[in-house]
């Protein structure tokens, strides 16, 4: 009996449509679980039956009709007591039926081909480019380029760019549990012998090493992520982990973790372990054009593996073509369905994310004294200062202004560089601080963004496009010590996708004379070169070697590596990079011009051909004689009457050249002592150079580049404890890289979107302190250490330049203001999706409508209101969404004002709050079009249109003058409006602009 491929195809569809993960209740899986029955019904009852219909209509033979006619003849023959076999017509029909194609067999073959096709590309939530040309050979898309750069995931977004996905924490009662990834193995050179292996999560079990560990009242459970045979199931590994943990957990933890969760079907530990492994195993990528990719691949598959021209049988060609048509039609509809789901996720990934927190770290000297009483009364801020700056050890002058509880105003005045964090204060206090700034964005020295770096770069586009002079990044090196998560054999490919998309975004932020500086080691150096050459196709790349581990090195065999690299990417032929500064100096240069151009000869510059008079005994230059006329060839060449030598600008071959100064300029130069004569009667010109810089050397070997001394040890001095951050850069490595291209641009912006421990911010502040200037920094970091390390380091360096054992050695800080923001993340966007209440929209509708709805716009329609909702703008100051904290969804306030400022690319000058904080007024200038902009936010429940109009009049605003180029207001309003051009009005609804900018793609 022939094998039926229908069940295997149904199983494959359930897998790729995520219907086999009923236990997952996060992200897109939660939504798909809610739609499971509807999708299953559509696929099995509406779509797949079309295979048989297409085959029946196009096979060229009406087998059903033939069988019906034969049955009729059989009945007639039986009624006459004869055999139908004696009927000639019956024999003809029988022969025709035997020659016809078995529709069931054709249908089975179609399912087999569809299963083979979709199995080829799908891999645990992702579609990987593997166009099989034949057996073990693959083809890549090629359009005739001179050089084609391709990798397995080149057409996909890599979305696991952060530690957020590696480690996992959740609350267990009032305690915290951490799943920690430990000893993540890596493959060497993608060895083909590992093709039958895939990565799996398993409980960490090494002899002499703990599997669980309680630290400071929190429980760490350790896991590995390593290669195992493909047959090894993750669910089995999870079950094994649960069994082992149930026997080794302390009783107090076992009681909490092994009890059932809120849904009652699994223990709390089982639930979180399932989520942990799923989040790390599925959905590494989002395809940039899944529909186009799979349609091209389906066409390629049909032509190469279904429609073999040599095997076409003339008697069955019609049925063979029917099979191709069935595969194409049904396959294309499945592709359309899959593409609509993937494009929906792509939309969520590319959506500009909300700002969910905005706060400022600002030195006390910048805060109005009228707010000092409130600062002194804030005990949380006082405790933070004790923790960060050891202020409890400060004594006042003459016994006045020393540390006390509560603090005093005198104490604040005597410590102007204490860094206040507005997160410890009320919104009303924060509004007063912001209102005191004359030019908010200009006054801010830095910006810290707690976010996945791709999402941060997306949000920065409108505000900083072509506005960043230096991009310095220290990405993960993808080594055993610093691996990124990847699946199967896609280690290098995942890394290249991670880098390519982020570098492409940061390239748009670079000024015309801007540069990128990238730290890297041998592991990904060559792949990085390829990515940079692809993104920066009209740039030069320079490579410097940094001796960052002098005397120790890394590597356990053959070569001890003490170096890494710093790549500089500059616009073509731009001479930008410099090294050490050269102080003012004196140098000499020949006075006679060389070269072949006319302006180097007498006939080209006759006024610069004259005799310099020299005292032969002392070699002192006495003066110059006027230039002889050009036509005069018999000019005086011997000594003057006084016995002075006449020295002309003659070449060694006697050719008449010229001096580098004209006659009158030479007289002034002689008066100023800028010309001299050598012992062999050569006239030289003296130069006194101002400060200059040497070219940047390609070898950085000074001890200051040691990542141990000025990286790890420096961080330990600042924080007073070690192990807070692995492999920090030497401060001076980053200082050298940043200063190399900003030495002559003291007010530029420096961006680092792999912010790490905050070394780049520290470096920028160090450069400003030692070299002068007001360079600004932007750092993006997603890691859980953002608050504990990145931002805290910035605060400490603001307060003092020198630290030891976590305490300031001096308190010689700088007047600074640094803004920090947090962004909604892709996972948050997924978790805030909610399906509209189900309404049976298919009643009295045609099947074609149902099909187009399911295939095309089901997700967009049914999640409408989750991604953008006009209700948010009724009272924008109360808008919230759920964000993930310790893997629990927490209702979080959204900063709509700050989000919109980034969306429209507004360089903010002032922000003021009015009417009991029911109106917020923002003024500034847009970055791209330099439009003078007014933004008015209001709580529409408190401020109706009449109140808005009165406020306009009170503030002396007008929509009819040229004070502002554009005015944004939330809520329908009755403000007078003028058309600025054919497309835009002067008064624009915030809601419309917000939605457009949030979902626009570059």
H, E, C per residue of 280-337: HHCCCEEECCHHHHHHHHHHHHHHHHHCCHHHCCCCCHHHHHHHHHHHHHHHHHHHHH
Q: Which residues pair with 520 in a beta bridge?
A: 565
In angstroms, the CA 881 to CA 891 distance is 6
pLDDT averaged per 10 residues, the chain (length 1002): 77 85 77 84 87 74 71 85 82 66 79 89 77 64 77 88 66 88 52 63 91 92 88 91 93 86 76 86 88 90 76 62 88 92 94 98 97 97 97 78 92 96 98 96 97 97 97 88 71 91 97 97 93 94 93 73 94 93 79 86 92 95 94 92 94 90 91 92 84 89 94 96 91 98 95 97 96 95 92 98 95 95 93 75 66 85 89 97 85 97 98 97 96 97 96 92 93 88 86 96 74
In angstroms, the CA 676 to CA 621 distance is 6
Question: Cβ of 784: how many Cβ atoms within 10 Å?
Answer: 15
pLDDT at 100: 56
The half-sphere exposure of 873 on its side-chain side, counting CA atoms within 13 A, is: 20
In angstroms, the CA 243 to CA 940 distance is 56
HEC secondary structure over 554-580: ECCCCCCECCEEEEEEEECCCCCCCCC
Q: Encoding tokens for residue 708?
A: 């141990």
Q: Encoding tokens for residue 651?
A: 């070449």
**Widest distance between CA atoms in the chain:** 154
In angstroms, the CA 314 to CA 332 distance is 27
Neighbouring residues of 986: CB distance < 8 A, sequence distance ≥ 6: 959, 964, 965, 966, 967, 977, 978, 979, 980
In angstroms, the CA 25 to CA 37 distance is 16
Query: φ and ψ at 889, to 5 degrees?
Result: -85, 125
pLDDT at 707: 94
HEC secondary structure over 73-97: HHHHHHHCCCCHHHCHHHHHHHHHH
In angstroms, the CA 546 to CA 562 distance is 8
Neighbouring residues of 770: CB distance < 8 A, sequence distance ≥ 6: none
48: DSSP letter? T
Question: Cβ of 227: how many Cβ atoms within 10 Å?
Answer: 17
The half-sphere exposure of 818 on its side-chain side, counting CA atoms within 13 A, is: 33
Tokens 């004689």 sit at which residue? 625
In angstroms, the CA 223 to CA 95 distance is 67
At residue 1001, the 3 state secondary structure works out as coil
At residue 968, the 3 state secondary structure works out as strand
């Amino acid at each position: 009996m022939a094998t039926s491929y229908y069940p295997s195809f149904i199983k494959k569809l359930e897998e790729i449509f995520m219907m086999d993960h009923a236990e997952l209740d996060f992200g897109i899986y939660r939504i798909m679980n809610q739609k499971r029955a509807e999708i299953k019904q559509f696929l099995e009852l509406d779509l797949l039956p079309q295979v048989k219909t297409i085959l029946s209509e196009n096979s060229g033979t009406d087998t059903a009709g033939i069988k019906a006619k034969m049955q009729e003849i059989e009945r007639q023959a039986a009624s006459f007591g004869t055999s139908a076999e004696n009927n000639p017509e019956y024999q003809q029909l029988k022969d025709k039926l035997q020659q016809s194609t078995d529709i069931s067999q054709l249908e089975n073959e179609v399912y087999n081909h569809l299963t083979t096709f979709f199995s080829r590309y799908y891999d645990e939530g992702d579609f990987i480019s593997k166009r099989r040309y034949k057996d073990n050979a693959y083809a890549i898309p090629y359009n005739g380029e001179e050089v084609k750069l391709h990798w397995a995931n080149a057409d996909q977004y890599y979305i696991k760019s952060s530690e957020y996905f590696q480690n996992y924490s959740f609350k267990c009662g009032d305690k915290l549990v951490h799943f920690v990834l430990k000893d993540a193995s890596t493959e060497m050179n993608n060895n083909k012998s590992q093709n039958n292996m895939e990565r799996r999560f398993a409980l960490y079990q090494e002899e002499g090493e703990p599997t669980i560990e309680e630290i400071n009242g929190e429980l760490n459970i350790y896991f590995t992520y390593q290669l195992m045979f493909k047959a090894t199931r993750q669910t089995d590994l999870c079950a094994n982990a649960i069994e082992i943990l149930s026997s080794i957990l302390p009783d107090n933890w076992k009681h909490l973790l092994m009890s059932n969760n809120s849904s009652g079907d699994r223990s709390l530990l089982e639930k979180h372990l399932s989520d942990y492994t799923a989040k790390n195993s599925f959905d590494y990528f989002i395809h940039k054009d899944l529909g186009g990719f799979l349609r091209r691949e389906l066409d390629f598959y049909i032509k190469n593996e279904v429609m073999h021209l040599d095997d076409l049988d003339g008697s069955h060609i019609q049925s063979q073509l029917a099979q191709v048509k069935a595969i194409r039609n049904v396959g294309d509809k499945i592709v359309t369905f899959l593409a609509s789901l993937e494009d929906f996720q792509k939309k969520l990934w590319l959506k500009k994310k909300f700002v969910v927190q905005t706060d400022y770290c600002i030195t006390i000297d910048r805060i109005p004294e009228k707010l000092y009483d409130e600062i002194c009364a804030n005990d949380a801020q006082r405790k933070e200062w004790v923790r960060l700056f050891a202020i409890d050890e400060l004594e006042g002058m003459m016994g006045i202004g020393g540390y006390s509880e509560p603090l005093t105003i005198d104490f604040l005045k005597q410590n102007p560089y204490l860094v206040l964090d507005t997160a410890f204060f009320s919104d009303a206090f924060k509004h007063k601080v912001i209102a005191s700034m004359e030019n908010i964005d200009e006054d801010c020295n830095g910006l810290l963004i707690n976010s996945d770096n791709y999402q941060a770069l997306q949000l920065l586009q409108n505000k900083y496009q072509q506005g960043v002079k230096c991009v310095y990044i220290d990405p993960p090196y993808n080594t055993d010590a610093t691996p990124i998560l990847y699946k199967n054999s896609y280690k290098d490919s995942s890394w290249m996708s991670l880098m390519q998309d982020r570098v492409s975004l940061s390239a748009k932020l670079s000024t015309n004379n801007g540069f990128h500086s990238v730290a890297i080691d041998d592991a990904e150096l060559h792949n990085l070169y390829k990515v940079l050459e692809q993104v920066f196709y009209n740039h030069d790349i320079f490579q410097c070697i940094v001796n960052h581990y002098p005397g120790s090195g890394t590597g356990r065999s053959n070569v001890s590596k003490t170096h890494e690299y710093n790549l500089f990417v500059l616009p073509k032929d731009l001479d930008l990079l410099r090294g050490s500064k050269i102080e003012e100096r004196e140098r000499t240069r020949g006075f006679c011009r060389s070269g072949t151009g006319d302006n180097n000869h007498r006939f080209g510059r006759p006024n610069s051909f004259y005799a310099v008079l020299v005292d032969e005994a002392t070699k002192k230059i006495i003066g110059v004689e006027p230039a002889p006329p050009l036509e005069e060839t018999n000019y005086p060449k011997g000594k003057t009457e006084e016995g002075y030598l006449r020295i002309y600008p003659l070449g060694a071959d006697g050719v008449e050249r010229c001096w580098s100064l004209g006659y009158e300029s030479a007289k002034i130069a002689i008066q100023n002592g800028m010309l001299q004569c050598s012992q062999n009667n050569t006239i030289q010109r003296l130069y006194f150079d101002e400060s200059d810089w040497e070219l940047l050397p390609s070898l950085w070997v000074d001890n200051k580049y040691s990542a141990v001394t000025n990286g790890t040890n420096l961080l330990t001095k600042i924080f007073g404890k070690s192990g807070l951050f692995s492999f920090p850069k030497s401060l001076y490595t980053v200082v050298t890289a940043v200063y190399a291209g900003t030495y002559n641009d003291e007010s530029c912006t420096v961006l680092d979107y792999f912010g790490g421990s905050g070394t780049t911010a520290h470096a920028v502040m160090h450069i400003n302190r030692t070299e002068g200037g007001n360079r600004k920094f932007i750092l993006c970091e997603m890691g859980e250490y953002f608050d504990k390390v990145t931002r805290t380091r910035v605060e400490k360096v603001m307060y003092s330049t020198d630290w030891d054992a976590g305490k300031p050695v001096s308190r010689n800080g700088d007047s600074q203001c640094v803004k920090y923001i947090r962004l909604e993340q892709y996972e948050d966007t997924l978790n805030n999706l909610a399906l509209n209440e189900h309404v049976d929209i298919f009643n009295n509708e045609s099947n074609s409508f149902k099909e187009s709805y399911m295939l095309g716009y089901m997700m967009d329609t049914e999640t409408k209101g989750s991604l953008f909702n006009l209700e948010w703008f009724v009272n924008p100051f109360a808008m919230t969404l759920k964000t993930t904290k310790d893997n629990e969804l927490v209702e979080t306030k959204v900063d709509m004002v700050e989000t919109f400022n980034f969306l429209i690319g507004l360089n903010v000058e002032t922000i003021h709050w009015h009417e009991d904080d029911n109106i917020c007024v923002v003024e500034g200038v847009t970055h791209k079009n330099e439009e003078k902009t007014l933004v008015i936010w209001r709580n529409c429940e408190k401020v109706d249109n009449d109140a808005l109009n009165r406020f306009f009049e009170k503030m002396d605003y007008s929509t009819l003058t040229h004070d502002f180029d554009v005015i944004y207001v939330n809520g329908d309003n009755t403000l007078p409006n003028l058309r600025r051009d054919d497309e835009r009005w002067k008064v624009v609804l915030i809601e419309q602009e917000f939605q457009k900018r949030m979902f626009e793609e570059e």
